[in-house]
Amino acid sequence: MARAFAPGKCILFGEHAVVYGQPAVAVSIEAGVEVSISESNRWSLEGLPFEPSRHPHISHIINDIFKYSGPPLEIDIKSSLYSAAGLGSSAALSNAMGAALQELVNPEENLDLVALARMGHSAEANAQKGRASPTDTATSALGGCIVVSGTSVPGTKHIFDSTLETPEGSRTWSVGRVEIPKIEDVWLVLGFTGIGSPTGEMVEGVSELLKSNPLKMAEIEAIGEITSRGLSALSSGNMEEVGLAMNACHHRLRNIGVSSPELENLISATEGHSLGTKLTGAGGGGCMVSLTRNPQRVAECIEIAGGKPLISKFGSGGARILMKEN
């Protein structure tokens, strides 16, 4: 048996705009996905027959990335992330699956986190009809605070570049890491609306909006400028300015139609106890995030407003192997 874990992520600023080459800043969170794989006499997932068409991320990694031809596999998944909630659950699944399968078939090799991030991005793009930025998979694989942009961002440590052929043409992103000061008194509190938000559908919706109303590209560009300001504040440890950037980013995301009444309800409920609060991820439902010095109070506000809270420290570790047994 081989077991691996990959964390979820939270985008502080820049979602959607990153698909069009603008920068995005994301941090890994403590919750994530654990995948266990063992050889078996039949293909199974969670004790049921494995149906590749229903699980495109997993089947892409098994068949297209590894070109696996060994014995059938028994695959088990444990997740502490809300599904379709903007927390990168599919990216965490892809990364944990890739790490576990590599450990099973190539146990002598050390886990290459950059290769894992590329593998996860390929799986995400395959499942999302060619539209996927590497933000979720890079943050989940590498851990910490990750910056993704169309070009290398000053003040970050460049890690790798990623290119993808999308329906809109070729896209290239630069993936870097930013070292942030040790933050002891600020937390992230995520609030799940209880309504799923499939990333592919939301990304497609923004694409259609930009085609029908090209002037809306100004909102995408504004998100990019806000993200750069937020990154500068994050690098210097100015969490008040980080919060302001989060608020400004949410305003622009609302303008491109990716918020929802349920998200706005949770954001309104928490803004009085937050440095900043916004939707995180694709939107349309899913999760919001609060940057706060009073996480318990914000979690209570989310629950009272009908949401499900999840408290996390800033920037957990990345993907990792948990166990290998013969």
Q: What is the pLDDT of residues 186-237, one digit of tens each?
A: 999 999 999 987 777 888 899 999 999 999 999 999 999 999 899 999 988 8
CB count in 10 Å sphere of residue 150:
16
Sole residue written with tokens 């052929």:
165
Residue 326 has pLDDT above 90, yes or no: no
Listed residue (102, 7, 5) closest to 61, CA to CA: 102
Number of alpha carbons in the 13 Å side-chain half-sphere of residue 146: 34
- Alpha-carbon distance of 294 to 136, in angstroms, equals 27
Catalytic-residue membership of 185: no
Q: What is the dihedral of CA 102, 104, 108, 111, to 10 degrees?
A: 30
- Position 242 scores a pLDDT of 95
User: From the candidates 64, 76, 112, 136, which is the catalytic residue?
Assistant: 136
User: DSSP for 48-65?
Assistant: EE--GGG-HHHHIIIIII
Confidence class for position 31, pLDDT limits 50, 70, 90? very high
pLDDT at 269: 98
Of 286, 231, 8, give the one whose Cα is nearest residue 139. Answer: 8
| 2-324 CATH | 3.30.230.120
Integer Rg of the chain from CA: 19
What ranges do the domains of the chain cover?
2-324
Instruction: Give the pTM.
Output: 0.87
For the residues of 252-315, what is the DSSP string, one character each?
Answer: HHHHTT---HHHHHHHHHHGGG-SEEEEESS-SSSEEEEEES-HHHHHHHHHHTT-EEEEE-S-
Q: What is the pLDDT of residue 25?
A: 93
Q: Given a cut of 70, is residue 131 above it in pLDDT?
A: no
Give the pairing of strands 320-324 and 276-280: unpaired
Between 129 and 201, where is the model more confident? 201
pLDDT recorded at residue 112: 95
Question: In the structure encoding, which two tokens stand for residue 326, read together?
Answer: 């013969």
Quickly state the pLDDT bin for 316 (edges 50, 70, 90).
confident
Is the model's pLDDT at 52 over the cut of 60?
Answer: yes
Contact 305, 290 (CB under 8 A): no
CA 322 → CA 35, 45, 104, 325, distances in Å? 9, 19, 12, 10
Q: Name the pLDDT band for 88 (thresholds 50, 70, 90).
A: confident
**Cβ atoms of residues 177 and 159 within 8 Å:** yes
